[in-house]
Amino acid sequence: MATLALKGGIPVCTAGWPRYPTLGAEEEAAAVRVVRSHNLSAQFGEEVRAFEAEFAAYLGSEHAIAVCNGTAALHTALAAAGVGAGDEVIVPPYTFVATATSVLLQNAIPVFVDIEPRTQGLDPRAVAERITPRTRAIIPVHMNGYPMEIEALMEVARQRNLVVIEDCSHAHGAMVGERKVGTFGQINAFSCQQKKNLSLGEGGLVVTNDAGLAARARGFHSFSAAPLSTNYRLPELHGAIGRVRLSQLDAHNDARIRNARYLDEALFGLPGIQAQRPRPGTKAVYYNYILHIDPEVLGFDKQTFVKALRAEGIPASGGYSPVHRDALFKQRNAYGRGCPFTCPFYAPTEAERPRYDDEAFPVVEELCRSRNVELKIHPPAGPEEMADVATAVRKVVEARAELAA
């Protein structure tokens, strides 16, 4: 048995991990085109407009509005949907913090609801039970690029007349049946931050089929909606590069899917390890590849597993932390004087107050503490890197008795 790198052995991967994103001649040409146009603002150019039209066509949506980041996309969607003071918005605690803080930016209250373990997205049945007269919207997240149960959630929302804003920041190009995610909710948001499948360094998109919501979103992001609007515009340079990155998105997603299939096969049957499988009938795009580990079978904890893989040169991580544990929610104070939690327009009964205590959401707690491990499988990583991942995982699992001791 090979000695673990953690115990002084030779690491499986010593070459370093491929960088992401890789930018080439096409992106360079797009940047040069913008420079030569002597215009850097979307207000006066064609690139961002074209990027919006091309993204809307890619998704199968009527309207797309490009914004400066994913948080701005969520905020714009909430503002366009009319969410505001005294409203509750249901969000999962397993996500990046911006899903919840965007709600605070619109002066509304995030209400966490636990996830269901298979897709690790909001549990539609738990959502149905948590709706109150103040619930105005729901923000489901397709975590790590695995589509959540969006059809069931849309049915819950339809029955209660609620707005759904899909947070598709991990899921550009993911599908449910023949339909892309980001076309189910009434108005939906994407991040194009550096690490995302559609990477612009910084950027975001709001999409909708509703002309009224589109007009309000467009106004809000560019200082022309009443009563309040702002400047969340995407710069022209990002629009031009976004068009190139969008033209490569399907090929990049296919590379992620090939890498995922490789690992699915290579890791199958290892004790204490199970790869997360996409829901049948859906296409996952693997923003991260998720392993579920069983510490009882392995004899050591998730943190040790991650440390051992990293020592082998594999970029593994323990993934997201539960958002409801963030200090912001402990202090219930977003704006310095308790607002919006103490807003006079917000007066739930004690039983209806949102829970922000540590152990409130057992599924999320358990998977963040003990089970989920994230692996990076983005291109240009390919079979060689995936072989290293598989070798390293096998090496760590085979050394479990030693690690347990």
Ligand X SMILES: Cc1ncc(COP(=O)(O)O)c(C=O)c1O
C-alpha distance from residue 4 to each of 108, 126, 156 (Å): 50, 43, 49
The answer for residues whose C-beta is within 8 angstroms of residue 285's C-beta and 6 or more apart is 145, 170, 171, 172, 173, 174, 197, 253, 256, 257
Which residues inside 67-96 make contact with ligand X, applying CB under 6 A?
A: 69-71, 95-96
**Residue selected from 61, 66, 67, 99 as contacting ligand X according to rule CB under 6 A:** 99
Stretch that binds ligand X, among 57-65, 123-131, 166-174, 274-282 (CB under 6 A): 166-174
Residue 376, classified by CB atoms within 10 Å of its CB into exposed (0-12), middle (13-18) or buried (19+), is: buried
Yes or no: say if 56 and 63 are a contact pair by the CB < 8 Å rule.
yes
Least distance between ligand X and beta carbon 151 (Å): 20
- Cβ-based nearer residue to ligand X, 6 or 192: 192
Least distance between ligand X and beta carbon 159 (Å): 26
The reply to whether 123 sits near ligand X by the rule CB under 6 A is: no
**Residue selected from 81, 83, 113, 141 as contacting ligand X according to rule CB under 6 A:** 141
How many residues touch ligand X under the rule CB under 6 A: the total is 14
Rounded to whole angstroms, the Cα distance separating 189 from 141 reads 10
Least distance between ligand X and beta carbon 189 (Å): 7
User: Running DSSP on this structure, what letter comes out for residue 400?
Assistant: H
Stretch that binds ligand X, among 148-156, 165-173, 298-306, 391-399 (CB under 6 A): 165-173
- Cβ-based nearer residue to ligand X, 325 or 395: 325
**Residue selected from 124, 182, 204, 319 as contacting ligand X according to rule CB under 6 A:** 204
- Cβ-based nearer residue to ligand X, 92 or 278: 92
Residue nearest to ligand X (CB): 70
The reply to whether 205 sits near ligand X by the rule CB under 6 A is: no
Q: For residue 27, which phi and psi values (nearest 5 degrees)?
A: -65, -40
Stretch that binds ligand X, among 63-71, 78-86, 105-113, 263-271 (CB under 6 A): 63-71
For helices 70-80 and 211-220, angle between their N-to-C axes, nearest 10 degrees: 120
Which residues inside 283-342 make contact with ligand X, applying CB under 6 A?
A: none
Yes or no: say if 92 and 364 are a contact pair by the CB < 8 Å rule.
yes
The reply to whether 120 sits near ligand X by the rule CB under 6 A is: no
Rounded to whole angstroms, the Cα distance separating 331 from 254 reads 43
The reply to whether 169 sits near ligand X by the rule CB under 6 A is: yes
Least distance between ligand X and beta carbon 123 (Å): 17
* Alpha-carbon torsion, ordered 243, 244, 247, 249, to 10 deg: -100
The single-letter code of the amino acid at 383 is: P
Q: Which candidate, 2, 124, 20, places its Cα nearest to that of 378? A: 20
Least distance between ligand X and beta carbon 146 (Å): 12
- Cβ-based nearer residue to ligand X, 71 or 120: 71
The answer for residues whose C-beta is within 8 angstroms of residue 238's C-beta and 6 or more apart is 48, 66, 192, 200, 201, 202, 203
The reply to whether 98 sits near ligand X by the rule CB under 6 A is: yes
Stated as kind and residue range, the H or E segment containing 384 is helix 383-398
Least distance between ligand X and beta carbon 196 (Å): 7
The reply to whether 170 sits near ligand X by the rule CB under 6 A is: yes
Least distance between ligand X and beta carbon 237 (Å): 17
The reply to whether 167 sits near ligand X by the rule CB under 6 A is: yes
Three-class secondary structure of residue 33 per DSSP: helix
Least distance between ligand X and beta carbon 272 (Å): 28
In 34-148, which ranges are E strands?
63-67, 88-91, 109-112, 135-138
Residues that bind ligand X (CB under 6 A): 69-71, 95-96, 98-99, 141, 167, 169-170, 191, 193, 204
